[in-house]
Chains A and B, each alone.
Chain A
């Protein structure tokens, strides 16, 4: 079996579209959450989100290509190009024929859907834009990356709501480990801040109207976000042979289903996914120094995840550093897991634990070391990244310092 490493990271995020902007905001706990400005907010009860501001498609695409792509696919292509540049990866024809592209998205082309459906339902137009369907299809992100970069191997999208990006990276990792492919582009992309989607989240009554405060006693719900993260994954042999810089090694991937509640987090399902990822990594709980938690900032998720972590790590839980990136990045559904795996890889690469932003007060039901507000230098050997999705779908990746 091949060892698999991360050699490139491309980011489109509410705190910037370069790796250094992304990482410095996470380390400094600088939140990308603010008043919604990318759409009109009249009629919205919740008017904050973590938006990718100043994203100018004309800076990245000529008009014909831009016209083909929904916002979520634009994010994905821009992140993929950045990842390839970051990895200094040459895409030559024999390898392009085998290269893998797997991209997660929770809800796909929501901007196309919202705009065009408003035309027919709201404005009583008789037609929608002819590109409505190719824009909204959930595989548009993977397909457009493949076309943009000429990648011709296994290419598909993964839709597991808030775990999509993690499932995508985990699946690409397994394909590489089995030795079937030379390199992969994998990650997640989401642009879900539309009027219709926000109303849908409002109706679920899980959004907060002030700030996302994961694991803090004062937490009051989640804040939606958007963005994309695409990683370049390669076999370690190939990366070393070409002298590539390695951010981290991917050791294992575990996935489970709760088969319980549609929306409520489930400690047992999350714990089984963490165990599965540890088994897949041939690692013990004691080997993990840091967990990038799912940590949404809802009462139930954070309580349940804390319990699941105790269940998996036992006494070692008291020596474990745990943080959530969602206070800074918001919850970007299918992109969330990919952005957080990128953060976890950077934590290992820089030996720095990004803190949990907006942490105000410890909660007795979340009794772990959440690295509140201030980053910490630490010796990090292995780290875990958790994603727990609506529909009871859990995905966990284990990374190692390389």
Chain B
């Protein structure tokens, strides 16, 4: 399941952020991909639609995650890396399935 989610996250991010999928390793930081706050909100929205889930994210956290913000401020944010995003999706998918 996690591998499927990873693949989905990678393909959505490659598409929305216009970066080659090879750059999207699990430990890649979102802030290093040139994503702005609005790009991150779009990626998360697309994942929500795809999986039928809700992922908590405030715009200010999106701006901290993005390259527009200061990366050091995002150390505690769960969605900082691709693996973090995959984990957030998995948690919501599991919750939805009642796991």
Contacts and interface: CB of A to CB of B under 8 A. Distances in A.
B60 interface: yes
A298 B58 CA distance: 10
B41 A221 contact: no
A262 B36 CA distance: 10
A300 interface: yes
B37 A263 contact: yes
Nearest to B54: A45
A204 B38 CA distance: 8
Given A264-B63, A264-B68, A221 B38 contact: no
B58 A205 contact: yes
A264 B58 CA distance: 13
B54 to A, nearest CB: 9
Interface in A162-187: none
A298 B59 contact: yes
A373 B44 CA distance: 37
Interface string A365-400: 000000000000000000000000000000000000
B38 A205 contact: no
B5 to A, nearest CB: 21
B37 A264 contact: yes
B60 A299 contact: yes
Interface string B51-78: 0000001111011000010000000000
Given A261-B38, A262-B38, A264-B36, A205 B63 contact: no
Interface string A267-307: 00000000000000000000000000000001110000000
B62 A205 contact: yes
A206 B38 contact: no
A106 to B, nearest CB: 18
Interface residues of B, number: 12
B60 A263 contact: no
Contacts of A205: 41, 57-59, 62
B72 to A, nearest CB: 14
B38 A298 contact: no
Given A261-B68, A264-B68, A300 B38 contact: no
Contacts, number: 36
A203 interface: yes
B36 A300 contact: no
Interface in A201-236: 203-206, 220-221
Contacts of A261: 36-38, 68
Nearest to A266: B68
Contact of B58 (A203, A221, A262): A221
A300 B60 CA distance: 6
B78 to A, nearest CB: 15
Contact of A206 (B36, B45, B59, B68): B59
Contacts of B68: 261, 264
A205 B60 CA distance: 8
Contacts of A203: 41, 45
A284 to B, nearest CB: 32
Contacts of B41: 203-205
A38 to B, nearest CB: 25
Contacts of A206: 58-59
A108 to B, nearest CB: 23
A206 B63 CA distance: 11
A205 B45 CA distance: 11
Interface string B26-62: 0000000000111001000100000000000111101
Given A205-B62, A264-B68, 11 more contacts: A204-B59, A205-B41, A221-B60, A261-B37, A263-B59, A264-B36, A264-B37, A264-B38, A298-B59, A299-B60, A300-B37
Interface of B: 36-38, 41, 45, 57-60, 62-63, 68
Which 9 A-B residue pairs are closest in the complex by CB-CB distance? A299-B60, A206-B59, A205-B59, A300-B63, A205-B58, A263-B38, A264-B37, A264-B68, A300-B60
23 contacts: A203-B41, A204-B41, A204-B59, A205-B41, A205-B58, A205-B59, A206-B58, A206-B59, A220-B58, A221-B58, A221-B59, A221-B60, A261-B36, A261-B38, A261-B68, A262-B38, A263-B38, A264-B36, A264-B38, A264-B68, A299-B63, A300-B37, A300-B59
